[in-house]
Amino acid sequence: MTFSYDNPYATTRHPVFARNMVATSHPLAAQAGLRMLQQGGNAVDAAVASAAAMTICEPVSNGLGSDAFCILWDGQQLHGLNAAGRAPAKWSVDYFRRKYGDDASAPPKRGIDSVTVPGAVAAWVQLNKRFGRLPLADVLAPAIEIAERGYLVPPVVCQKWAAAVPELQSQPGFADAFMPWGRAPQVGELFRFPAAAQALRRIAASRGVAFYGGEIAHAIQRFAAAQGGVIEASDFERYQPEWVEPLSVGYRGYTLHEIGPSGQGIAALMALGILGHFDLGALGAHSVSAKHVQIEAMKLAFADVYRHVAEPSWMAVTPAQMLDESYLKSRARLIRINKAQDFGPGLPRQGGTIYLTAADESGMMVSFIQSNYLGFGSGCVEPGFGISLQNRGHGFSLQGDSPNVVAPGKRPFHTIIPAFLSQDGQPVMSFGVMGAHMQPQGHVQTLVRMLDHGQNPQAACDAPRWRANPDGTLNVEASADPAVVQGLKDRGHRIEALADSYQDFGAGQFIWRLGDPKTEGYIGASDSRRDGLVAGF
């Protein structure tokens, strides 16, 4: 791929070139990963160190109670890791109906009954055990130091922190953990998190056992019981992340890889499979037609994903059926080049998040994502160890005919998705775009800009984005070209411009391999919508 290094978009960022690289949405986390590489660690060590630091540096998006997913190239082959949490053994439709009434359609958005067993710490342990070079204690040391000594809160994190306080300040443990001085920190104020430092030390010393069945798990059980919840230490002890083979689809001579259901990565694969039937390069990167076709492809993909995707054993169709080439071609035929449409699901033939990436000069590349889901997750924070718990349980349904209906030990529909690009069986790019259902849309938009229009990763990242919503409406960034927005309106899209790029349009990190890492290295990009950094040497 030959990129153009012209960047027509307003940005404060430039591409970064290096043989060893870490890209995250907070500079201290990127530097934590870089320290591991400089100490002789590899890209996995860097990714885990950065992920741990991110739980402290960007708590609005993730914490020690997060879930996680990973796709990594170990130098020879691709691996996938699914560390989505599972429902407590005592969860059922009846449990929620008794507590919240027959009209409830899903578990609550906040509070202890939105919390499934967190998987992120298990992901760190598994990655370190299988692929890391350095001891887990060394890898977690930067995060422990940041939590104990504190850090100065940056502008974007500060903004999101303050916005979350009105809704979450009454949740158990939240104010004590995240409202020092009785409010959210202001820009440049020092935030310390000593309870989380304590947890990280116990996790490091026990290689995760303290979290999964040990003293941290028992502390969470006591905390949950005090709030009327039923998650128990035994739920943690049973938990294991799962090594999986990523799903893939070909596009323009490359292959996109995503983690399969119950995550939504298949939406990006389906959309690209549909877009492969259109000549987007001929339409032009900034044309109304190019945007329109991508939006319609994304809407088609989401129609199927929201109907069919759940824990695989609960799905009526298989991922292979959803990605069948003839099926995607039939879906592509539904797109009208001059008219927006509302699509229902097809019938395939029967048969609040942080993202980071790291790469080293040995060729190892890691695509990693973890999240508390909605900002600060459940809002519940176990006080002794500072465990900010996610709210992934809200992703379940309470409708008995849904494939995503809640059940004991089941994984809910998941939004966080790392991505990886290869060509002819060799690694090309580890990347991801944060932001709920914006994530597969961000994957598609940035890949189209790079593969169809030759934009470099930083330009593709900086370009104005659009977001198709489940209700059929379309959001565009305030920086979008007014002529393009009007053109989309003329084709029937119901559009609302939104100014909050962080919350509504996601943020990405990209590392593209330029050739032999020992000589040519990588090009990295970090989204200007967050406080991030590409660090390399």
Residues tagged active-site: 353
Residue 312, exposed/middle/buried by CB under 10 A (0-12, 13-18, 19+)?
middle
DSSP 152-191: EPPHHHHHHHHHHHHHHTTSTTHHHHH-GGGSPPPTT-EE
Q: How far is the C-alpha of 322 from the C-alpha of 341, rounded, in Å?
A: 21
Residue 522 dihedral angles phi and psi, to the nearest 5°? -135, 165
Q: How far is the C-alpha of 83 from the C-alpha of 70, rounded, in Å?
A: 8
Residue the block writes with tokens 């080293």: 360
The torsion defined by the Cα of 259, 264, 269 and 271, in degrees rounded to 10, comes to -170
Residue 4 dihedral angles phi and psi, to the nearest 5°? -85, 135
Strands of 508-513's sheet, edge to edge? 16-18, 522-526, 508-513, 426-433, 419-423, 254-258, 247-251
Q: Are 375 and 109 in contact (CB under 8 A)?
A: no
Counting runs of H as helices and runs of E as strands, what totals does the chain give?
Answer: 19, 21
Can you name the residues that pair with 370 across neighbouring β-strands?
68, 354
Triad 523, 524, 525: Cα angle to 5°: 135
CA 285 to mean position of chain CA atoms: 26
Q: How far is the C-alpha of 155 from the C-alpha of 54, rounded, in Å?
A: 15
Q: What is the DSSP letter of 121?
A: H
Q: Comparing C-alpha atoms, which of 136, 186, 110, 49 is closest to residue 372?
A: 110
Q: How far is the C-alpha of 449 from the C-alpha of 268, rounded, in Å?
A: 14
Strand ranges (E), 329-389: 353-359, 365-371, 381-382, 387-388
